[in-house]
Amino acid sequence: MSDTPNAPTVAVFRPDDERLESAAALLSELGAEPVPDPMLAVEATGAVPRTDADYVVFTSKTGAELVSEAGWEPGDQTVCAIGPATADALRAEGYAVDLVPEEFTSSGLVAALDDRVAGARVEVARSDHGSAVLLDGFEDAGAYVHETILYRLVRPNGSGESAALAAEGDLDAVCFTSSLTVDHFLEAAADRGVRDAALEGLADATVGVIGEPTAETAAERGIDVDVVPEEATFDALARETVAAVRPGRE
């Protein structure tokens, strides 16, 4: 917890591992009082990427760790990471990363490979909740695309402390890191019987989201978004969200 008097309460929804710990620590460093509320849990499928692809695309740190645990070896394939966090995770597992797009999004990755993949086999290795942007984009570029589901993302039992706080008007800000965290937040609120009240609480809070796809999901669910950092990283999201907490909410 932050030692700053009247520190703003900021909910964070990362998986309940070192990512949640580091996210909470960063919020504390920024002068906020973190509300760690894991909205995602990983269920590994045991699958690994195909070995006959020309390009293999990874979209998360979790995917990098799971393929390493499964003993996957890329051979001559071009290994692509959606952003620096994923690239660092791949390198930490001993994999060489050949490409990271300038824009750390699905559309940015498609743009980086658009003129290279016509007629090539592209393997997309990720969770069961990936957007269609990668698959459709590579297909439009003329690639033969295959998706391997490395893990499923589910909502942990007992999640929803942040929803209860929002319903009581005691949450100053939230940091949504994916569309799924938005949906799981609302599901948790509904399970606690406070969905409408939680939405009202978010209307008075500062809502930060990690990128435009998450912003679109939030808007579709009736949530007004205040912060979308230019760089799609949690560090940028946390810093900009804490800085944007509305005067009077502290």
Lookup: tokens for 210: 């990690």
Estimate to the nearest angstrom the gap between the alpha carbon of 136 and the chain centroid: 20
**How much is the pLDDT for 248?**
52
Residue 2 scores a pLDDT above 60: no
In one-letter notation, the amino acid at residue 166 is A
- Give the model confidence (pLDDT) of 75-125 as tens digits: 899 999 999 989 999 999 999 999 999 988 889 999 999 999 999 999 999
Mean pLDDT score across all residues of the chain: 92
Q: Is this model's pTM higher than 0.95 or not?
A: no
How many residues are given for the chain? 250
Estimate to the nearest angstrom the gap between the alpha carbon of 30 and the chain centroid: 20
Residue 1 scores a pLDDT above 50: no
Task: Compute the half-sphere exposure of residue 58: CA atoms within 13 Å on the CB side of its CA.
Answer: 34
CA distance 185 to 181: 6
Lookup: tokens for 57: 């695309």
